[in-house]
Amino acid sequence: MKSSLTIGTRGSKLALWQAEWVKSELVRHHSGLSVAIEVIKTTGDKILDVPLAKVGGKGLFVKEIEEALIEGRIDLAVHSMKDMPGEMPEGLWISSIPLRETPYDVLITKNGCPVEDLRNGAVIGTSSLRRASQLLHFRPDFQITGLRGNLDTRIKKLESENLDAIILAAAGMKRLGMAARVTQEIAPDIILPAVGQGALCIETRRTDNPVNEMVSTLHHEDSARAVLCERAFLKLLQGGCQVPIAAFATVSDDGNGLSLTGLVAEIDGSIIYKDNITGTADEGVFLGERLARRLIKRGAAAIINRLLEQASKQ
């Protein structure tokens, strides 16, 4: 058993909160353990004036942290699961998935107006193609504008850029004690969450048994079953931030069943391929892949291939 560990993380307030939470849980479970946190700047942190879909590539918020993990400069990485691409570098793996926080998106407005009642032509800030496409499918009259930066910056832009509303992840707002700013938690039938949204990812070297054993104390099995089902859906579709893809899985109350809803959309929301599949809790990867193939047969592949081709030419 190791006496000290180094966690690698991004430097945003939310990322640091997540790393500090993992640190406190590890110290609580392992008496005498010393844990340090190393901040690592990622590509996604460096490029703030370009929409994520135009930056391109996979792992915009994890690549440099994974490199530090491979090189042995850190012992484990703490990520937001929704930032994790479907494919992972050789030798690394998701060793622990703690209890998932609320996975939904939230609306923040200046006047407390819910999404259904926003004015015609309302201007909504988000840089997520997933959120934008579903909003436009729900209300084609909405005007979508890009929104980058940390939570504080995005909320300030609600006023400074004269927006009617912004869309953020509920989990981040709760973790940073900002839930009171939320106008509305958006139902998944309006905006289906991102793959892994609300969950943390603890990434380690696959062969580092002492570290893997230590972080296993933070693992929550039902959260992992749901998240890994969603990630199987994403991996087979081979989508990134250039394609509007969403998936949300839930484990039944008795722990035996699993339900997955997934979608692929046109950027403007004009077409959405969406479906649901159910099965047993231990066949999550199978269900994720099966639902992905179902959407591909219905026409999702044409959207994915076209958007990825367009992104490669930018």
Burial bucket for residue 234 (CB in 10 Å: 0-12, 13-18, 19+) = buried
Q: Which residues contact 98 (CB under 8 A, 6 or more apart)?
A: 22, 25, 199, 200, 202, 218, 219, 220, 223
Spell out the residues 6+ positions from residue 119 whose beta carbon is closer than 8 angstroms to its own. Answer: 113, 164
Yes or no: say if 134 and 272 are a contact pair by the CB < 8 Å rule.
yes
Helix axes 221-237, 284-295, angle to 10 degrees: 30
Structure tokens at 160: 């400074």
Dihedral Cα 186, 222, 195, 138, nearest 10 deg: -30
Which of the following is catalytic: 45, 49, 75, 83? Answer: 83
Q: For residues 195 and 231, what is the distance between their CA atoms, to the nearest angstrom?
A: 6
Three-state secondary structure call for residue 193: coil
> Token digits for 305?
């291939």
- Is 83 a catalytic site residue? yes
d(CA 171, CA 193): 11
Torsion angle of alpha carbons 200, 57, 193, 64, nearest 10°?
10
DSSP structure string for 54-71: HH-SS-TTTHHHHHHHHT
Distance between CA atoms of 63 and 8, rounded to whole angstroms? 12
Provide the annotated active-site residues. Answer: 83
